[in-house]
Amino acid sequence: MTERDDAEMSPMPEPLRGVRGGMAGRRMLPELLSLVVREGVLEKFRALPVFGFDELCGALHREPVYDLSRGNRRRMIRLLIDLFVECGWLEPAGTGDRWSCRRDGILRPGEVPAGTGGSDGQVDFFRRCLRIAPGYLRGKEAPIAFDAENARAWEEFLGCDEFQACRSILLDRMASTTGVSASLLDLCHGPGWGIERAMERWPEARITAIDFTDAFAESAKCRAERARARNLARRRPSPPVEWFGSSDWKGFGHPLPFPEGAFGAVLFSCGDPYIRPDARDAVYADLRRVLAPGGTLGILTRGYPDPERRHVPSYWLRVTALIHDFSESVCTGWHGFRDVAENQEMFTRLGFRGGWNPEGAMNIVDSSLWILKKG
């Protein structure tokens, strides 16, 4: 991999300066490529100098006996194709979805930058997922769920430095659009990282937290209490958080248990890829319903790399998004990152508008952060 990465990186907001963009992709690309070699997938690419998607899936079904008939396993193969195209080893062949190995293509995994050792919740989580991936592709059920057994892994993953920095940026930009809201909903609060950040950023806000699982309730409430104690010690207002759990809401596809216009802002961190594609309109229409007029919706996710590099231009963030999507595919309910242009069309159609700058842009940082206002 040539050193095109940093030159192509878009300017990072201040909270992200200490988080090297695309670091997870830099560290995980060699490990994913090693898995592809061990599984014989690379050999299949080479044995099919020009191939279509169905042809490749058929070859992988025969050997190494992948069961691509269920779940999102076929999508994982498409993710590998897109990753190899991104890395410059595959290229489109003619019209339609056909590819070929580049004659001059050398599969180079890139460099693992110095000083990137040690533990990182995001990288550790991806490594766990990649260990599981071969069995999952052969037909085993997705073993990582939002339950007590996996709560610690989710806590470390969702609390990694990159996601924490992004939450800070998101909350700052949400506040800058309309000022600090008096009421905030944390949707899918998980281990409570977003609640803690919100209580620090908006100490006077009345925060409501909801999740479809109770696996994280204890850790989330502990973080909220610690944040509230810090606020009170600084003589800052800090209303208690109102909690809603699995008995109140069954998850995406079910209406939120709140009246119309109940919240001035909604924070939605890392949950978007778990919305079924056929439910996206209904989920975001319901989020618009519970927002007050002019209310702000902030979303932390990743944008699926677009071929034109218009929405996700940075090379290592594109690689990271593809590796992230492939890895988390072994988790129960994962549907993947969405096309940025399709999201823009959906949000506009549902009555949202961009809200983070005077030009009305919807997203920032390679379409990882979305700031929308109820129009």
Range with the poorest average pLDDT among 109-113, 156-160, 346-350, 369-373 = 109-113
Range with the poorest average pLDDT among 36-45, 62-71, 108-117 = 108-117
Query: Quick one: 344 exposed, middle or buried, by C-beta within 10 A (0-12, 13-18, 19+)?
Result: middle
**What is the overall mean pLDDT for the chain?**
90
Range with the poorest average pLDDT among 11-25, 221-235, 284-298, 346-360 = 11-25
Q: What is the pLDDT of residue 71?
A: 87
pLDDT tens per residue, range 142-151: 889 999 999 9
Q: What is the pLDDT of residue 20?
A: 63
Domains defined along the chain, listed by start: 5-121 (1.10.10), 154-374 (3.40.50.150)
The answer to whether 226 and 192 have CB atoms below 8 angstroms apart is: no
pLDDT tens per residue, range 260-298: 999 999 999 999 999 999 999 999 999 999 999 999 999
Q: How far apart are CA 158 and CA 256, in angstroms?
A: 23
pLDDT tens per residue, range 196-206: 999 999 999 99
Q: How far apart are CA 81 and CA 70, in angstroms?
A: 19
Q: How far apart are CA 28 and CA 320, in angstroms?
A: 8
Q: What is the pLDDT of residue 7?
A: 37
Enter the DSSP assignment of 273: G
Element housing 42 (H / E): helix 41-47
The answer to whether 183 and 264 have CB atoms below 8 angstroms apart is: yes
Q: What is the pLDDT of residue 2?
A: 36
Single pTM value for the model: 0.92
- pLDDT surpassing 70 at residue 104: no
Range with the poorest average pLDDT among 65-74, 106-115, 331-340 = 106-115
Q: List CB contacts of 141: < 8 A, sequence separation 6 or more.
A: none
The answer to whether 110 and 30 have CB atoms below 8 angstroms apart is: yes
Average pLDDT over residues 165-178: 90
Q: What is the pLDDT of residue 95?
A: 75
Q: List CB contacts of 9: < 8 A, sequence separation 6 or more.
A: 21, 22, 314, 316, 317
